[in-house]
Amino acid sequence: MEMKKSRKILLTVIGIIVAVYTLFPFYLVVMNTFKSANSIVSSPVGFEGISVSQLMTNLSSVVNNSNFNFWYAFGTSVIITVVSLIVLALFGGMAAWVICRNKTKWSTAIYMVFIASMIIPFQVVMLPLISTFRDVGNFVGISLLQSIPGIVFAYCGFGGAMTVFILTGFIKGIPYELEEAASIDGCSPEGTFFRIIFPLLTPVITTVTILNGMWIWNDYLLPSLMLGQNGKVKTLPVAVQAFVGSYVKQWDLILTAALLAIIPMVIIFLIAQKQIMNGMVEGAIK
């Protein structure tokens, strides 16, 4: 009994340490948005210099800054994220369904390719990716770099592996008799997928969509490579670079802009955390 109590205390302490370590960067961002640049430099961790009026000044400076162009960057991030998520959910679901229901060597090989691609770090392929996109764009006469369609295509490629992997595990638990009954009733393969299979995937698709959405919205490296830091098309994480100069860094504006970029995903996660857990649990049970 005493050993169980000690173990519980130890796990609680470890949990608190991990929580503090994880939340500390978020604490720094939030606290320092209430400070001026001088207060941040003199006391980055403490409460000195905190002022609501300073927060409003920082917000006004960020939103009205012509170089940052908050609303344009926000709209660009929304378009890229929403379109990428729709394509990933739709084509990922179809790919997972075909892989599950066609037990051939080819389907197994394709599934293994999806899994293998998940372990390849992005840093290994980022330079060949840019070169390939440039060559393909020149060949077809369409600019895939510094364009929304190009980066959406890239996100669908990088996010497709995890999407197919998770959806495949869920589809394996769906009774095949449902599809047989639909076929007997004269339903086409396309109708079977969209009328029977796809609605059943709603819980796990919600989970995958939120996970992919947080990744795409917060991503900095891929947009900075494909769109460029000085390009016309900018996502919110890339636009924050406008406050980072060669010699002067406007920390008050940098942190305020970062907070504005974080808030939408925090709100969505808090609202949908129940759906995320339900989708993961249902997928595990399946």
pLDDT at 39: 85
Q: pLDDT digit string (tens) for 218-237?
A: 898 888 888 877 778 888 88
Give the pair of three-digit tokens for residue 268. Answer: 């969505």
For domain 65-285, give the CATH superfamily: MetI-like (1.10.3720.10)
pTM of the model: 0.85
| pLDDT at position 14 | 92
What burial class does residue 240 get, using C-beta atoms within 10 Å of its C-beta: 0-12 exposed, 13-18 middle, 19+ buried? buried
Mean local confidence (pLDDT), 43-58: 84
Side-chain half-sphere of 286: how many Cα atoms within 13 Å?
A: 20
CB atoms within 10 A of CB 169: 15
Provide the β-strand partners of residue 244.
Answer: 249
Per-domain residue ranges for the chain? 65-285
The residues near 262 (Cβ < 8 Å, ≥ 6 apart) are 26, 29, 218
277 band by pLDDT with thresholds 50, 70 and 90: low
Query: What rounded mean pLDDT belongs to the chain?
Result: 84
The whole-number pLDDT of residue 1 equals 60
What pLDDT, in 10s, does the model give residues 95-139? 999 888 888 888 888 888 888 888 888 888 888 888 888 888 777
Contact indicator for 134, 144 with CB cutoff of 8 Å: yes
Q: How far apart are CA 269 and CA 215, in angstroms?
A: 12
